[in-house]
């Protein structure tokens, strides 16, 4: 099956993020080729595909880790394709990583407090002088970090070292740290990877709760996990948009199953 041909998604008032013809190459490998999609405010948006489809590359382009060869990505009407990751976080997009990136020697609480740095105001002078404004801000940051740890279900582990937490709790901690930036769009890169069935079910419940308050995009290999979330889904294959629609329709599509199972009959 050839890649889906899509028109420019445009810039409607309800669109939060618009990717238009994004392409990325690594040497002789074309990792992304003219990828376009749009995410509306309040969506749970799934981005799925087999291993090597280009999902994480697309995420890295969206969040400023990679610069595309061509194409644009707009967030809240602003073109940010070549902004730095911290600038994109300040604009209101936060992400987690497929391979967990926590500060293992710091506590869970300290990890979340670090995530608040894009919203702090005291600056270097306040950090040195330790004035009342700085102390008040630090107290507020700690209080908010504790709230977020409670929110994701690991508040009782606030003082535990991040590297000592069970794997599922480390995933939750990374989400709490992302939430500390107060995002409008939360981007989760394979959040269920390596989780047990029970942990995956709990994570699905958490993501659905999060989606009541913000827009969520989930990159996943696991179609069943995405099915529990609902929402619109785009399938990537060999760096191109292969299909899109609701997850139940896509799971019943032999062409989509072929690329997942490697049968290749319709590719």
Of 18-27, 109-118, 160-169, the range with the lowest mean pLDDT is 109-118
Mean pLDDT of the chain: 86
Tens-place pLDDT, residues 194-209: 888 998 999 999 999 9
| Res 28 pLDDT > 80 | yes
* pLDDT confidence band for 19 (50 / 70 / 90): very high
CB neighbours of 241 closer than 8 A, spacing ≥ 6?
A: 3, 4, 6, 35, 36, 37, 234, 235
Q: Which pLDDT belongs to residue 14? A: 87
* pLDDT confidence band for 260 (50 / 70 / 90): confident
What does the pLDDT average to over 94-120? Answer: 86
Q: Which pLDDT belongs to residue 6? A: 36
CB neighbours of 237 closer than 8 A, spacing ≥ 6?
A: 3, 49, 50, 53, 259, 267
| Res 62 pLDDT > 70 | yes
Q: What percent of the chain has pLDDT over 90?
A: 56
What does the pLDDT average to over 114-139? Answer: 65
How far apart CA 75 and CA 237 sit, in angstroms, is 24
Domain ranges of the chain: 1-92+183-267, 99-167
Q: Which pLDDT belongs to residue 214? A: 94
| Res 123 pLDDT > 90 | no
What does the pLDDT average to over 116-145? Answer: 69
The pTM (predicted TM-score) of the whole model is: 0.84
Q: Which pLDDT belongs to residue 152? A: 94
Q: Which pLDDT belongs to residue 29? A: 92
What does the pLDDT average to over 184-194? Answer: 91
**69-105 residues labelled b (16+ CB within 10 A) or e (exposed):** eebebbbeeeebbebeeeebbebbbbbbbbebebeee
* pLDDT confidence band for 266 (50 / 70 / 90): very low
Report the CATH fold assignment for 1-92+183-267. Rossmann fold (3.40.50)
What does the pLDDT average to over 12-30? Answer: 89
């Amino acid at each position: 099956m050839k890649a889906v041909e899509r028109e420019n998604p445009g810039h409607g008032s309800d669109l939060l993020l618009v990717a238009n013809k994004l392409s990325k190459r690594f040497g002789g490998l074309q990792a992304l080729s003219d990828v376009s999609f749009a995410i509306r405010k309040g969506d749970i948006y799934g981005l799925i595909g087999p291993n090597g489809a280009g999902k994480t590359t697309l995420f890295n382009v969206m969040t400023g880790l990679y610069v595309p060869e061509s194409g644009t990505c707009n967030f809240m009407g602003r073109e940010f394709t070549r902004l730095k990751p911290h600038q994109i976080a300040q604009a209101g997009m936060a992400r987690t990583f497929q391979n967990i990136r926590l500060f293992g020697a710091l506590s869970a609480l300290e990890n979340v407090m670090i995530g608040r740095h894009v919203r702090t105001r005291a600056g270097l002078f306040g950090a040195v002088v330790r004035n009342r404004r700085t102390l008040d801000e630090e107290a507020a940051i700690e209080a908010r970090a504790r709230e977020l740890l409670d929110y994701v279900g690991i508040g009782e582990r606030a003082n535990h070292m991040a590297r000592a937490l069970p794997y599922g709790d480390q995933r939750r901690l990374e989400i709490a740290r992302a939430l500390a930036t107060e995002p409008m769009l939360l981007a989760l890169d394979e959040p269920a990877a390596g989780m047990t069935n029970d942990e995956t079910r709990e994570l699905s419940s958490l993501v659905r709760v999060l989606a009541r308050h913000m827009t969520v995009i989930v990159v996943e290999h696991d179609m069943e996990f995405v099915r529990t979330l609902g929402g619109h889904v785009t399938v990537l294959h060999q760096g191109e948009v292969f299909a899109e629609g609701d997850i139940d329709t896509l799971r019943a599509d032999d062409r989509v199953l072929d690329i997942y199972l490697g049968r290749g009959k319709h590719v």
